[in-house]
Structure 1
């Protein structure tokens, strides 16, 4: 029966809209879900599949039904609602189709199919764009009314689809793959606690999560926005799968621990959406079916109810208790996760993520032990890695905690509002306490360290920087606490989504206030060390403010018409898509890809020749800058001053500038020497250019931070060898 009613929705979709990729196949509209809009009294429709073909403007249907009353003649009333507009509202004489087989309704199970052409007055109403836009909002309602009495014998509603949607499996896999690639590269870069890419990884996941969370409010979203936001449900640890074994296990667990709410099903959730919301957009869809005949016996009602349960066809009206409300219920149910199963799904995914992290960290530690046992690599390097590894693990545990903070808190709070399954509530409390400790403890350590000393200690103490750097290392020392507003805002968003779910207006206004406050802090305080990071963070904040402001139009009480809401939903989809591309491009720039073409440029003959002429100056400036940077603020706590601890007294007679024309060194042409190389000095003396490529400094651990390419090192050695040969031949 579900498929028959589904086809019925196809008729509605006939007058609705098609999809973006309709050119790949014949333009058509078909039913996507079917429900009874009133309890059937006389006729049980087991199947009513309908599909509209634009090529010949015909409707093909397959009907399977049975009647429990004899000599019942009915007429069919067909109503089509598209974006709140009713372009079709006609009555069909069933005696005139299928050679009169449906007049009167047969008392046996009847199956038949036919194809009829729509009259020009109806088919001309369907605009061509209906077949080219995704996530069309429309439904068809078929009501069987007894001739003579006007009693409603059956009422069926079917939502329509053209096969196109902004939710695409390819988008889910692509964004997930990009996130995984960023994670792997960030793991490699994270040996440096100030590396940019690990922070961009968090920015990317936060962007996906913000899009998904924005679809959890009590708003009348257009279907296209819900579909787009479902592409990023995985960022909230909500994974849809054809294999519902996990959901079945959660259903069983809840049933054994006092759960009484509806379980997850594989049927379409759109059939259970509140009739006031998209895609129905009608306050009278259910009431238009009329009143049910009160002459039926109680026994017949019992028989019909059992038949309905066997066929798994739900009765959904505006007064039903199985109607899905806006927000989390519609969002999670669309991917076949029951509302009461949402938290447990997140909880199980978190357990799996923890297991994967433990395995990766264990493999890393085993590798270090293997290096130690077989003495792979220099001893100093092995000991340094072994000392740094615990801090590296703590830093990544903190990053994983920041990623899981929003999903656990949002759905943990929401689980508390359901009053379902005491075991689910217990797990939610445990998960909430665990994630709060994982995020709050490092925050307290950072703040307490600053109060005991000063902000600079966060950047000079190796343990703090390597372990808790993901919180503050990207910010200036004076703005180290800038991470706190972000965490607090995420916490309050979870409260807004879970505990203020009855007022969409209050939710979106509070969201907007939080986003405005966050972006103003960035614009005014400019907390990042680099100006580009401030611009990037401001861009993301402004996008969130704009999107939150536009979503005010989705508040039900404002009453924006369905077509403007749908257009606004597409605009939000485009804005978020562009933002994602910008973040991905930024990640590509910081992943080291640009080194490929830079290395190619330096390997060309022309660039190699120019490098030979200026290599000594470039290397000197680079080493001088590196020494200055390392000495001023070394993140690993190495000595700030790389000069020797003891100053060796120099003989003024010996410490004279080199002058070939004066063997004794008693006469010096200071002017000529100053012209040759007045910027390269050693202990106060001017050296000739052939010595300028070897600046004197005491070797320190700061050399570990030297990021010179192998080509530069080879070039430097080549320059030294050539100049030394020239010096020997000259002597």
Structure 2
């Protein structure tokens, strides 16, 4: 019997872990509010079923209203399954039980049983392990077989899901996770506005990774795989990240929009009296009420003559199951998720504009120093563009899944067109932005042998496109492309393969394994801590995908193994989510309330700190070069144009010179030149002669289209073509050598250049 189950080490461990959770109630109880047929042509169905068992007072209370097509004496066999394990088998003779006198004999027509069954045998109570009363979302069912006493022929079979009143599906969990993820994003934005770019990059990277983990949890929950109750309830907490949130007026709007565009809305929630809506659970269809916290569904009938064959039954899985548990009509799921994404975009725009006017008002009123949020106040439109791109990146997984799923269900013609339009636009925007970053980085490498120079020295490029690459090291600027491909393929399988849970499970294992291997080998993120943070998330997602594959029953494992693995899935994901939340919350607190939060982080080895304008003054050899690149010299004003043009990622100035030289017959066009003022001290720590006076005009910049003379000294080349000599511009390496020689100290010829130090070239 099940008493031996409590002696298993794994069960004991799970009981100890779950005992730490605040899920215990004042009174132990096992109850059920649904009854569904488990046999074809069952001769008995229930229109009302309420059963409660309280072991403390050994009482079984039940209230049953049903319809019977059975006449004569019957015997009842009850089987209790806990996590797929048959715990109890009990044979009952209704004629010997006072509480079941109404079933001896059974008659056709309506049957009503309302009674208490006191003094349950202690031996029966002892067979139920203690974890059955404490484990949330208990995976237990009871099957009742009604057999003919004369022929022993099975006449009917009904099953009920049992609950102990505990669940891990709480609105508070969703609110807390959403608020902490939002705090991380807001903290990174404020910190960046205050000039602490290093801290802002770390906090933003961790917050985005945390949000991505929540979306992964939600994706596991919306797969078509039949999941244990505790897994379904846990992943339901994160469906807010997919936009599946019920709001009353939004549901009315969605229904109106669908009807007005030629669709036919479903009415499952409003027709529970005549429709038995069931959700998948480990291959067993269990009725669930959407209007109660436990998510069960009463299967009622207004007519006592209605039997099981005449009742409508609907089985939901995947996205439909999640939407139904959120009390959203099936045909309103797409519109709801889409509307919340649009609302989020508009809300962010409003907040950014409001913050701009608040800052200006505080500065004019003298309540805030004029040097606070200077870059944001001067270039808030560019910052807003970058924020919009970041929101598109955040909502990309959600919209890919929902839009591709809409192509399969086709709620209405207008919604299908909306889904196609949204997918194409998002792919085009993110694809264009990724190609822009790659071209800018390649141009920086070509001109300066370092991708970080242009990617981080230009505030316009950093504010607009930085959302794609700041979380990666400079030499891994391209990794945003594999990341987007990973999200796209994963979302397509979840959205398009809702008809086959096994296909989704296998695909998720392969996709998560590939991504884990990729980031473990490449380690593309900015530093060791960020790499470890994201590798840990990828490892947990890969492990979860293996669990989802097991839940798909592809291995035909026993039900007990599936039930125990469901509890394990919840325990390790809940613990890992708690750790991530605390890490993001602590880092956000340090970023907001520490005077100089950049001191908590080591400078990145790709030398981005020397090029980013920051409140923290570094003392690297590239600081003066970074200041020159940003135009921060005395009397210098940075003027960059063309950042929004297509050619801002190509060396347009050098291309113009090449075209002019070719036109004049000079095929030996000069290579791209570096906009470095050699009079700036590149090695302050090495001493040297004082620098020359800074030029009064603006410095040469990366995006200037001016064809004026370059301040960089030209070196006459001995090569010529057709008698025309051309001038070659020194690169950053030769400029650095000149600055060093002016100070009287030459760098050893075999020493590695600081251009290449830490940028990934030494690996």
Kept in 2, the 8 Å contact 1:219–1:554? The answer is yes
Q: Deviations over 1:194-213 (max 9, x none)?
A: 52212222111001111111
Q: TM-score, normalised by structure 1?
A: 0.70
Q: Deviations over 1:385-406 (max 9, x none)?
A: 4432112111211221111111
Kept in 2, the 8 Å contact 1:79–1:140? The answer is yes
Q: Deviations over 1:505-549 (max 9, x none)?
A: 443333233333323333333333323222322222233233333
Kept in 2, the 8 Å contact 1:199–1:470? The answer is no
2:254 to 246, 250, 267: 250
Distance 1:209 1:108, change over 3 A: closer
2:468 to 452, 458, 471: 471
Partner of 1:177: 179
Indicate the SS of the match to 2:217. helix
Indicate the SS of the match to 1:308. coil
How far off its partner does 1:64 sit?
3.6
Indicate the SS of the match to 2:185. helix
Partner of 2:236: 230
Worse overlay, 25-34 or 446-455: 446-455
Which whole-Å CA distance do the structure 1 matches of 2:369 and 2:575 have between them?
47
1:561-572 equivalence runs, <5 A? 561-572=558-569
1:442-481 equivalence runs, <5 A? 442-451=433-442, 454=445, 455=451, 456-481=453-478
1:353-392 equivalence runs, <5 A? 353-367=344-358, 370=361, 384-392=375-383
2:430 to 439, 450, 465: 439
Partner of 1:637: 630
Indicate the SS of the match to 2:385. helix
1:580-659 equivalence runs, <5 A? 580-593=577-590, 625-626=618-619, 628-633=621-626, 637-639=630-632
Indicate the SS of the match to 1:134. coil
How far off its partner does 1:38 sit?
6.3
Distance 1:539 1:502, change over 3 A: same
Partner of 2:117: 115
Kept in 2, the 8 Å contact 1:40–1:155? The answer is no
1:398 to 376, 389, 394: 389
Partner of 2:80: 80
Distance 1:587 1:400, change over 3 A: same
Partner of 2:49: 48
Q: What is the aligned length? A: 597
Which whole-Å CA distance do the structure 1 matches of 2:47 and 2:529 have between them?
62
Indicate the SS of the match to 2:564. helix
How far off its partner does 1:34 sit?
3.2
Q: Deviations over 1:69-91 (max 9, x none)?
A: 9x765554434333333322524
How far off its partner does 1:371 sit?
6.5
Partner of 2:163: 161
Indicate the SS of the match to 1:558. coil
Partner of 2:528: 531
Partner of 2:653: none
1:124-139 equivalence runs, <5 A? 124-139=126-141
How far off its partner does 1:640 sit?
8.1
Which whole-Å CA distance do the structure 1 matches of 2:235 and 2:616 have between them?
49
Which whole-Å CA distance do the structure 2 matches of 1:375 and 1:134 have between them?
56
Partner of 2:508: 511
Partner of 1:201: 207
Indicate the SS of the match to 1:214. helix
Larger Rg: 1
Which whole-Å CA distance do the structure 2 matches of 1:231 and 1:351 have between them?
21
* Greater fraction helix: 1
Partner of 1:322: 314
Distance 1:449 1:328, change over 3 A: same
Kept in 2, the 8 Å contact 1:137–1:160? The answer is yes
Kept in 1, the 8 Å contact 2:94–2:103? The answer is no
How far off its partner does 1:623 sit?
8.9
Kept in 2, the 8 Å contact 1:66–1:109? The answer is yes
Which whole-Å CA distance do the structure 1 matches of 2:628 and 2:560 have between them?
56
Q: Deviations over 1:217-245 (max 9, x none)?
A: 343422222221112111111125xx655
Distance 1:111 1:347, change over 3 A: same
Worse overlay, 365-374 or 412-421: 365-374
Which whole-Å CA distance do the structure 2 matches of 1:43 and 1:521 have between them?
56
Distance 1:264 1:388, change over 3 A: farther
Partner of 1:420: 411
Which whole-Å CA distance do the structure 2 matches of 1:364 and 1:595 have between them?
17
Aligned-residue Cα RMSD (Å) equals 4.6
Distance 1:596 1:421, change over 3 A: closer
Q: Deviations over 1:97-132 (max 9, x none)?
A: 248445454967746322233345644432222212
1:211 to 210, 213, 217: 217
Which whole-Å CA distance do the structure 1 matches of 2:125 and 2:372 have between them?
77
How far off its partner does 1:472 sit?
0.6
Worse overlay, 130-139 or 228-237: 130-139
Kept in 1, the 8 Å contact 2:227–2:280? The answer is no
Kept in 1, the 8 Å contact 2:401–2:492? The answer is yes
Which whole-Å CA distance do the structure 1 matches of 2:229 and 2:430 have between them?
35
Partner of 2:725: none
Which whole-Å CA distance do the structure 2 matches of 1:178 and 1:379 have between them?
30
How far off its partner does 1:448 sit?
3.6
Q: Deviations over 1:136-194 (max 9, x none)?
A: 21222345556658787765432110012232333222212212322331231232565
Worse overlay, 153-162 or 368-377: 368-377
Which whole-Å CA distance do the structure 1 matches of 2:507 and 2:100 have between them?
61
Q: Deviations over 1:592-622 (max 9, x none)?
A: 528968999x9xxxxxxxxxxxxxxxxxxx9
Which whole-Å CA distance do the structure 1 matches of 2:467 and 2:356 have between them?
21
Kept in 1, the 8 Å contact 2:406–2:419? The answer is yes
Which whole-Å CA distance do the structure 2 matches of 1:635 and 1:315 have between them?
81
Which whole-Å CA distance do the structure 1 matches of 2:566 and 2:264 have between them?
35
Which whole-Å CA distance do the structure 2 matches of 1:394 and 1:495 have between them?
27
Which whole-Å CA distance do the structure 2 matches of 1:555 and 1:66 have between them?
35
How far off its partner does 1:487 sit?
1.0
How far off its partner does 1:307 sit?
8.0
**Residue 265, structure 1, aligned to residue 258, structure 2:** no
How far off its partner does 1:467 sit?
0.8
Q: Deviations over 1:558-606 (max 9, x none)?
A: 1122222222223232332333233234324532528968999x9xxxx
1:308 to 295, 301, 307: 301
Worse overlay, 36-45 or 352-361: 36-45
Q: TM-score, normalised by structure 2?
A: 0.67
Partner of 2:292: none
Distance 1:635 1:490, change over 3 A: farther
Distance 1:261 1:562, change over 3 A: farther
Which whole-Å CA distance do the structure 1 matches of 2:592 and 2:340 have between them?
37
Kept in 1, the 8 Å contact 2:68–2:109? The answer is yes
Kept in 2, the 8 Å contact 1:222–1:279? The answer is no
- Return 5+ residue gaps in structure 1 as ranges: 1-16, 282-305, 603-621, 649-678, 686-695, 702-731
Worse overlay, 204-213 or 426-435: 426-435
